[in-house]
C-alpha cells in the first residue's frame, strides 16, 4: 500500500470516528435538551400539587438522562406526597412507598453526599416507621455538616417523635438538642427548642418536664432579658405545670407556681401590651388556679378574669384590624 493510500485511509477512518463522535454528542445534547424540557414541565406540575402527572414527566426525564439525580429525588418526593401513612397496608399505597424508596435510593446512589437527597430518603424511612434506616440518614447529614445547627434539630425532632415510646430515643433527642446549643451557645433558638421539647413530653410519664423546660427558658432569658415572648413562654410553662399536674401538687406548690405564672405574664404584658395571648393566659390563671386555691375569694378572682378576658378581646381586635390593613395595603 502506498504512503498516499495509507494517509487517505487514516484520514478516512479518523473522519468517520469524528463523525460518529459528533453524532453521539448531538444525541447527548438532544437527550439533555429533552430531559430539561420534561424536567421543567414536571417541576411545574409538582409545584401545582399534580404529583401523579409530575411522575409521568419525571419518568421521561430519567429515560432521556439516567444520571439526573434531582429527577430521581422528585420522583421519590412525588410518590411520597401521594403516599398515605394511615393507609399503609393497602397494596396500592405500599406500591407508592416502594417506588418512592427506589427512586430516592437511586438519587442517593448517584450523589451520596447530597444533603437534600439524604433528608428526603430519611424522611421516607421515617414515614414508614423504619427508625433504624431513618436514623442512619439523619446522622449522615450531621456527619457531612457538623457545624450546621439545623442538622442537630432535624435529628432531635426525629428522636422526639418516638420519645414517648422509647426512653432511649428520649435521651438521644436531649443529646441532639444539647449539641445544637453547644454548636452556638449564644443562639437563643437552641434554648427555645430544648424548652419546647420538654413541654411537649407527656406529663404522665415525665412529670419533671415543666421544670426542665423552665431551666432552658431561664437560660434564654439571660440572653434576652427584655423579651416579652420569653416572659410569656415562662408564664405559660408555669400555668401548664399547675393545670396538668394538679393531682400531683400540693396547694402550697400550686400557689407558688401560680404566682410565678402571674408575675411572668404581667412582665410580658408590660413589655408588649399588644400581644393578646398574654391576657388570655392571665384570665386562665385566675379561673383555673387562684379561684380554685382561694375559694373564699372566687368572686374577686372571677371579676379579674373577666377584666383580662376583655383586654384579650380588645388586643385581638387590634391585631385583626392591623392584619386587615396590611392585607389591603399589599393589594
Integer angstrom CA distances of residue 154 from 137, 141, 179, 258 = 11, 9, 12, 34
| C-alpha of 170 from chain center | 18
CA angle 129/131/135 to nearest 5° reads: 135
Burial class (CB in 10 A: 0-12, 13-18, 19+), 124: buried
pLDDT computed for residue 308 by the predictor: 96
In the predicted model, is pLDDT for residue 88 greater than 90?
no
The whole model's pTM is what?
A: 0.70
Integer angstrom CA distances of residue 83 from 42, 97, 131, 245 = 18, 6, 18, 39
Residue with more model confidence, 14 or 75: 75
pLDDT category, 261, cuts 50, 70, 90?
A: very high
Number of CB atoms found within 10 A of residue 305's CB = 19
pLDDT computed for residue 1 by the predictor: 46
Q: What is the largest CA-CA distance in the chain?
A: 123
What span, in angstroms and rounded, lies between the C-alpha atoms of 278 and 231?
A: 9
pLDDT computed for residue 286 by the predictor: 96
pLDDT computed for residue 198 by the predictor: 87
pLDDT computed for residue 26 by the predictor: 37
pLDDT computed for residue 83 by the predictor: 93
In the predicted model, is pLDDT for residue 4 greater than 90?
no
Q: What contacts 155, CB < 8 A, 6 or more positions away?
A: 135, 138, 139, 141, 142, 172, 176
Residue with more model confidence, 330 or 269: 269
61-70, 73-82, 157-166, 281-290, range with the lowest pLDDT: 157-166
pLDDT computed for residue 85 by the predictor: 86
pLDDT category, 270, cuts 50, 70, 90?
A: very high
For 229-246, what is each residue's pLDDT tens digit? 999 999 999 999 999 999
What span, in angstroms and rounded, lies between the C-alpha atoms of 245 and 308?
A: 24
In the predicted model, is pLDDT for residue 219 greater than 90?
yes
Cell of 184: 452556638
pLDDT category, 121, cuts 50, 70, 90?
A: very high
pLDDT computed for residue 167 by the predictor: 78
What span, in angstroms and rounded, lies between the C-alpha atoms of 34 and 239?
A: 61
What's the whole-number average pLDDT of the chain?
Answer: 86
What span, in angstroms and rounded, lies between the C-alpha atoms of 256 and 286?
A: 14
For 5-54, what is each residue's pLDDT tens digit? 444 433 333 333 333 233 333 344 656 788 888 899 999 999 999 999 99
Query: Among candidates 194, 256, 200, 241, which has minimal Cα distance to 220?
Result: 194
Amino acid at each position: 500500500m502506498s504512503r498516499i493510500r495509507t494517509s487517505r485511509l487514516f484520514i478516512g477512518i479518523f473522519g468517520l470516528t469524528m463523525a460518529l463522535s459528533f453524532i453521539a454528542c448531538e444525541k447527548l445534547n438532544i437527550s439533555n435538551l429533552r430531559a430539561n424540557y420534561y424536567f421543567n414541565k414536571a417541576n411545574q406540575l409538582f409545584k401545582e400539587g399534580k404529583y401523579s402527572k409530575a411522575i409521568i414527566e419525571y419518568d421521561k426525564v430519567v429515560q432521556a438522562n439516567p444520571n439526573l439525580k434531582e429527577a430521581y429525588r422528585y420522583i421519590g418526593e412525588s410518590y411520597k406526597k401521594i403516599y398515605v401513612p394511615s393507609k399503609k397496608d393497602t397494596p396500592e399505597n405500599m406500591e407508592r412507598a416502594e417506588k418512592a424508596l427506589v427512586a430516592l435510593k437511586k438519587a442517593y446512589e448517584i450523589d451520596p453526599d447530597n444533603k437534600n437527597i439524604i433528608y428526603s430518603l430519611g424522611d421516607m424511612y421515617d414515614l414508614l416507621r423504619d427508625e433504624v434506616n431513618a436514623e442512619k440518614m439523619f446522622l449522615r447529614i450531621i456527619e457531612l455538616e457538623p457545624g450546621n445547627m439545623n442538622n442537630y434539630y432535624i435529628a432531635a425532632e426525629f428522636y422526639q417523635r418516638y420519645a414517648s415510646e422509647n426512653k432511649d430515643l428520649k435521651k438521644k433527642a436531649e443529646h441532639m438538642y444539647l449539641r445544637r446549643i453547644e454548636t452556638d451557645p449564644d443562639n437563643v433558638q437552641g434554648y427555645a427548642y430544648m424548652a419546647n421539647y420538654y413541654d411537649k413530653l407527656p406529663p404522665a410519664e415525665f412529670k419533671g418536664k415543666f421544670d426542665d423546660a423552665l431551666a432552658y427558658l431561664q437560660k434564654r432569658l439571660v440572653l434576652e432579658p427584655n423579651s416579652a415572648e420569653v416572659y410569656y413562654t415562662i408564664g405559660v410553662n408555669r400555668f401548664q405545670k399547675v393545670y396538668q399536674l394538679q393531682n400531683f401538687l400540693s396547694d402550697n406548690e400550686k400557689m407558688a407556681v401560680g404566682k410565678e405564672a402571674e408575675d411572668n405574664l404581667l412582665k410580658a404584658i408590660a413589655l408588649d401590651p399588644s400581644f393578646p395571648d398574654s391576657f388570655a393566659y392571665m384570665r386562665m390563671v385566675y379561673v383555673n388556679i387562684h379561684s380554685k386555691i382561694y375559694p373564699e375569694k372566687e368572686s374577686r378572682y372571677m371579676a379579674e378574669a373577666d377584666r383580662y378576658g376583655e383586654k384579650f378581646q380588645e388586643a385581638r381586635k387590634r391585631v385583626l384590624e392591623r392584619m386587615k390593613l396590611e392585607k389591603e395595603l399589599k393589594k
